[in-house]
Structure 1
Amino acid sequence: MAAPTRITYGDDPSQYAELTRPVGDSKGVVVVIHGGFWQAQYEASLGQPLAASLAVNGWTAWNLEYRRVGNGGGYPATFDDVAAGIDALADVQGLDLRTVVTLGHSAGGHLAVWAAGRPALTGTSWADPAVRVTAAVSQAGLLDLATADASNLGGGAVRSLLGEPSGPRDDRDALADPTARLPLAVPVRCIHGRGDAIVPLSQSSDYVALATAAGADATLTEVDGDHFVVIDPASEAWALTLELLDALA
């Protein structure tokens, strides 16, 4: 595994990604998107252990940082950065972009699935990606923003992301919410701890039920453990995540 290389995709200090290449041939690119309820105090360092494990297991890892609520993020800047950060892969030499999987935890799971659906966001600046996501893996992701907002998950984190006042303003709620964008044209794999007290398992199970009913390719893998077991590289949950990724290669 090569040492990570930091690559910027904009002028803001949060507009960068860390590229880690495997030794030998790559199975594809995994875009790691960290969680933290889209808040500025949570950083890309959360994704570094996963990026290292991915590279050891034959993947090229792109550990993506982005502007969050509190440092210039929120709607639409956070979404702009995730889109631009993924598109920046097109400018990195020596990458095979036939397989590009977004992998996100918690709020990052939301952004991973959102990014996979960009081609369907017609009429927006996000709708014509330079790099197309071929699948998404959501680790305890916030996939139903309307329900998460109504349940006050993260102490109002959804409304902090989308902006006040409560309730729809323009069409941001529909554009930002993966559940509102079904069916997705690429596979979505959800993995979620049964004992998650931060993001309920229903955020994944309900999404998968609605997605499959709409004709999409979506599955849920339930694991023992809490909200963070899915990002522990030593856990069985992470071993299962690597299996899910290999099946998407």
Structure 2
Amino acid sequence: MARDPIEVLDERAAPPARTTAYGEHPDQVYDVRLPAHATRGLTVVVVHGGFWRAEYDRAHASRQAQAFADAGYPVAVVEYRRPGVPGGGWPGTAEDVRDALAAIRSDPQVGRSPIVMVGHSAGGQLVAWAAAQPWAHGLRGVVSLAGVLDLAHGQATDVGGDAIQAFLGGTPEQVPEAYAAADPVRLGPNVPALVVHARDDDVVPFELSERYAAAHHGPSVRLRPVADGGHYGLIDPEHPAFGQVLAAVDLLAS
């Protein structure tokens, strides 16, 4: 019997080399995974998905992160506060990504190389948001994997149920300032953004990435459609779609 793609969320790699705190909350940490042989002059910073919900933590990104390390990249996997924990939601969740990146940049093992941020689903929104911030300068770029890149349209079309409202604190009519500050479709990136999304994704529709790419048409944003892979193939090292993720990171590395 074929494995259900969602099972990738329950699979784990071996423990990381270390876990380092960047804040006082238990969720303000990042895991470091180091390659046996560092063959790539680039550090990958992984920002996990899970619709920003507290029940989905960085553990499900461990195999994805280990695959990057096995490919020769030093890797840091960011944990962040999610809605339902003190400080989680908007803007605390995004501020955690900012603060984690600052800590990683000063980390002697993973901060010496140029950095590319890779985010899946909700993590795709967070890395696309990061790409639009003034402090993004110096990043090699970001890779959004099946990202929630149009928050207002996603909320209107019930993407993730109530996840977008829970993250931002309401609807676009209730908290327009939060959507204006957080929604990637409204925020042009300051660094290259590669947008990888499977056309058959039935969790976060492909059209959200299409809308983001159309809004920021130009050389800084490139949409890279994947024929199939659903929502989870992009973070499953055993799925053929993951090869296209590695190719996107390699492109920024070059």
TM-score normalised over the length of structure 2 = 0.87
The CA deviation string for residues 171-229 of structure 1, in whole angstroms up to 9 with x for no partner, is: 221110111112x221111111222111101011121122115x633222223121111
- The counterpart of 1:246, out of the listed 243, 246, 250, is 250
Query: Could you tell me which residue of structure 2 aligns to residue 14 of structure 1?
Result: 27
Query: Could you tell me which residue of structure 1 aligns to residue 195 of structure 2?
Result: 190
Q: Which runs of 4+ in 1 moved over 4 A?
A: none
Gap change, CA 1:195 and 1:83, over 3 Å in 2: same
SS in 1 for 2:197: strand
2:89 corresponds to 1:69: no
The CA deviation string for residues 72-130 of structure 1, in whole angstroms up to 9 with x for no partner, is: 210111011010011111331144545211111110111111112111xxxxxxxx46x
SS in 2 for 1:161: helix
SS in 1 for 2:55: coil
* Inter-partner Cα distance in structure 2 for 1:188 and 1:97: 21
User: Do the aligned residues in 2 keep the contact of 1:138 with 1:190 (CA within 8 Å)?
Assistant: yes
Q: What root-mean-square deviation, in Å, do the aligned CA atoms of Structure 1 and Structure 2 show?
A: 2.0
Give runs of aligned pairs for residues 1-249 of structure 1, distance below 5 A.
3-25=16-38, 26-72=40-86, 73-119=88-134, 128=135, 132-164=138-170, 167-169=173-175, 171-182=177-188, 184-212=189-217, 216-249=220-253
Q: Which runs of 5+ in 2 are unaligned?
A: 1-13
* Inter-partner Cα distance in structure 2 for 1:170 and 1:138: 24
* Inter-partner Cα distance in structure 2 for 1:103 and 1:149: 23
Q: Which runs of 5+ in 1 are unaligned?
A: 120-127
Gap change, CA 1:165 and 1:237, over 3 Å in 2: closer
* Inter-partner Cα distance in structure 2 for 1:174 and 1:198: 24
Gap change, CA 1:2 and 1:43, over 3 Å in 2: closer
User: Do the aligned residues in 1 keep the contact of 2:172 with 2:179 (CA within 8 Å)?
Assistant: no
* Inter-partner Cα distance in structure 2 for 1:64 and 1:180: 24
Higher mean alpha-carbon deviation, 221-230 vs 193-202, is at: 221-230
Letter in 2 for 1:48: S
* Inter-partner Cα distance in structure 2 for 1:178 and 1:99: 23
